[in-house]
Amino acid sequence: MQKRVITVFGGSGFIGRHLVKRLADAGFQIRVAVRDTEAAGFLKIDGDTGQVAPWLADVIHPDQVAAAIDGADCVVNLVGILYEFGRRTFHNIHVDGAAHVAAAAKAAGVRRLVHVSAIGAAEDSPALYGRTKAEGEAAVLAAFPDAVIVRPSVVFGPDDNFFNLFAGLSRLTWVLPVFGCPTWPEIKIFPKGGLVEIDLYGDGGTKFQPVYAGDVAEAIKNILSLSDTALSDSAGVERIFELGGPTVYSFKEIMDLLLEATGRKRFLMPLPFGLAAFYAWFLEFWPKPLLTRDQIKLLQRDNVVSRRLPGFKELGISPVAVDAVVPSYLSRFRTPARRGLNPA
């Protein structure tokens, strides 16, 4: 039996690591298309000898993309960026790069193309990130009409850049942000007893539906294994899957969960979007920005599934809850005393 060949662009990234392992277990011959093949070498141990092969390819170069896809049966594009740097602009990566992958996949006669986008993708998104994600989806479908689009919410897992970022900040500062709070706190006066309550957080800021990286990888693997008929039955005409975890959290609830997992006490500072954008302007000058103004614009919309599109249920997956996974890998951020260790 001839082995199925799949090319995974961005396979050494956060979701890619989970996906490559699952594809190797499923018997695929995997080309991990990346800009740095040496950095992707750790993936070789996920399969048998020669089953997982790092492959030099940058999505902004059509010739490299075509070479990586030639002879493949399936293609997955995981490439995306959260901030721009040099030639790695949102348009170059999310739109042009996605179009290069789709066009090459179509020309090579690829059976299935899965393009990973984001729930924030929308033509009218206040953020350039969200608008280019939507443009990228349109470019993919124009070149490869039968492509499948996957839109995950915020993805969590041991190597994530979300929970780990704020847990790391909790080691350095006594203050953590809660984005999207009211500009002015609400003061509530209770008639009986004259008690006063000051509400700093409103509804808790931006809403998220965090999804486990392993579940996203499992969803992609299942999409690749479905027949065209089964896929049409599951995905419908649009062939777009929205992937969100079992629980919706406000930003404040996420910070509360994080502090409980790390055993730390920190002040949660309410940050209206205007003030957050002011701070982000300074942080954008860092080589690897902690926050950008475009990310603040993205936070102005809740990052949750619309419920009008198929998701995990249609793929036969029960998504893992945040509190079942996050505490296990945030335990390293606990103080030595709370980990039961002797600081001396």
With beta carbons less than 8 A apart as the criterion, state whether 23 and 8 touch. yes
Q: Please tell me the least confidently modeled range out of 16-20, 43-47, 235-239, 308-312.
A: 235-239
The answer to whether residue 39 scores a pLDDT higher than 50 is: yes
Say whether pLDDT at 343 is over 50. Answer: no
For residue 302, is pLDDT > 60?
yes
**Dist. CA 312–CA 315, nearest whole Å:** 5
User: Which range is least confidently modeled, 43-52, 185-194, 252-261, 274-283?
Assistant: 185-194
Average pLDDT over the chain, rounded to an integer: 93
Domains of the chain: which residue ranges?
5-152, 163-206+249-300
The rounded distance, in Å, linking the Cα atoms of 312 and 307 is: 11
Cα-trace Rg, the chain: 22
Give pLDDT tens digits for 91-135: 999 999 999 999 999 999 999 999 999 999 999 999 999 999 999
User: How big is the CA angle at 110 (ends 309 and 129), to the nearest 5 degrees?
Assistant: 45
Q: Quick one: CA torsion of 126, 130, 136, 141, rounded to 10 degrees?
A: -90
Between 237 and 240, residue with greater pLDDT: 240
What's the confidence (pLDDT) of residue 198? 80
Residue, of 229 and 220, whose pLDDT is higher = 220
The answer to whether the CB of 103 falls within 8 A of the CB of 64 is: no
Is the pLDDT reported for residue 298 higher than 80? Answer: yes
Neighbours of 238 (CB within 10 A): 12
**How many percent of the chain have pLDDT more than 90?**
85
> Is pLDDT larger for residue 336 or for residue 291?
291
Single pTM value for the model: 0.92
Q: Does domain 5-152 have CATH number 1.10.287.70?
A: no
Report the pLDDT value the prediction gives residue 342, as an integer from 0 to 100. Answer: 47
Residue 157 has what pLDDT? 96
pLDDT at 340 (0 to 100): 56
Confidence of residue 336 (pLDDT cuts 50, 70, 90): low
pLDDT band for 232, please (50, 70, 90 cuts): confident
Is the separation of the CB atoms in 314 and 239 below 8 Å? no
What's residue 229's pLDDT? Answer: 87
Half-sphere exposure of 126 (CA within 13 A, CB side): 11
